[in-house]
Amino acid sequence: MEEEEERGRKERERKGARRRKRREKEEGKHRLNFTDKNLSVTEWSAPVVWHGTYNESVLENYYANRKITVGLTVFAVGRYLQFYLHSFLSSADKFFMVDQKVIFYVMVDNFSTIRWMPLSRLHTFKIFKIKREERWQDISMVRMKIISEHIVDHIQNEVDFLFCMDVDQIFRGKYGLETLGESVAQLHTYWYKANSTVLPYERSQLSEAYIPMGEGDFYYHAAVFGGTPIQVLNIARECSKGIMNDKKNNIEAVWHDESHLNKYFFLHKPTKILSSEYYWDLYQKRTPDIKNIKLSWDIKNYELLRVNH
């Protein structure tokens, strides 16, 4: 089993590298309008978190007497369960909210293929079975509905803060209390310094995710978002509503749930933004401002993983 996974990982790495090079060449022209300086605070006074812009000991002292619990939802469906869940959880257990109480909410379509793994003292996980959708695009979009249902049913009574993350990523460094906030958004690796005119928002006025040309603040990655349970519930509900309204009209936003997430944060500004150090693509050329990578994309092979039935 482990040898098969290792062979699969090497093959995904080779194919992923080739695919990444093609995509970088195609998208290169869109990454020309960069600013020269890291942004530390937005126009609406939300902090942009970079490594070293916070005092870790102050944060630890602040939260020490508050006995918080942090939740993290992750979906592992189909081949994503086989190839990514174990490495995601093992790296999260090592780096995510070290010395804090954490509950991992794991959504899977097949209990039988889950590998047991021990977690550190303050970390636990709960596993839930979900229906597997026919198309990978639908899997991506239906998660907003599932997240909102679980928040209402139990999560809101179990945690103080909640993150929602994709499974095909690996924690590389300490991902701690500095990331907590009422409403947290993640800058996208490819677009974190790009001019708003080239950001890949949904541009069709027929879609609920529509953002007019020239408007918008940043492009956020749907692989990571979070906040308090009530705020994450608002995010998930509004995105799900937009997705369903589009579906009724036979419309599918260009980047699916991510387009709707960007529309939400366009209308409801996040109270904290995580820099691209908190989610970096290791195949992307590393710029001088990326000094300490906390979380990175895992090797992706969409031809293998995203098979529509």
Catalytic machinery residues: 258
Query: What counts of helices (H) and strands (E) characterise the chain?
Result: 7, 10
CA distance 132 to 246: 21
Is residue 166 marked as binding?
yes
The response to whether 161 counts as a known ligand-binding position is no
Structure tokens at 140: 């991506």
281 is in an annotated binding site: yes
Q: Is 167 annotated as a binding residue?
A: yes
154 is annotated as contributing to ligand binding: no
6 is in an annotated binding site: no
Query: Which among 250, 274, 280, 289 has a CA at the least distance from the CA of 42?
Result: 274
* Strands (E) located in 134-253: 161-166, 169-171, 183-187, 220-227
| Cβ–Cβ under 8 Å, residues 234 and 271 | no
Q: In which residue are the tokens 């409403």 written?
A: 183
The answer to whether the annotation marks 188 as part of a ligand binding site is yes
| Residue 125 tokens, joined | 């996980």
Structure tokens given for 180: 């907590």
The reply to whether 77 sits in an annotated binding site is yes
Annotated binding site for Mn(2+): 166, 168
Annotated binding site for UDP-N-acetyl-alpha-D-galactosamine: 75-77, 80, 166-168
Annotated binding site: 75-77, 80, 166-168, 188, 258, 281
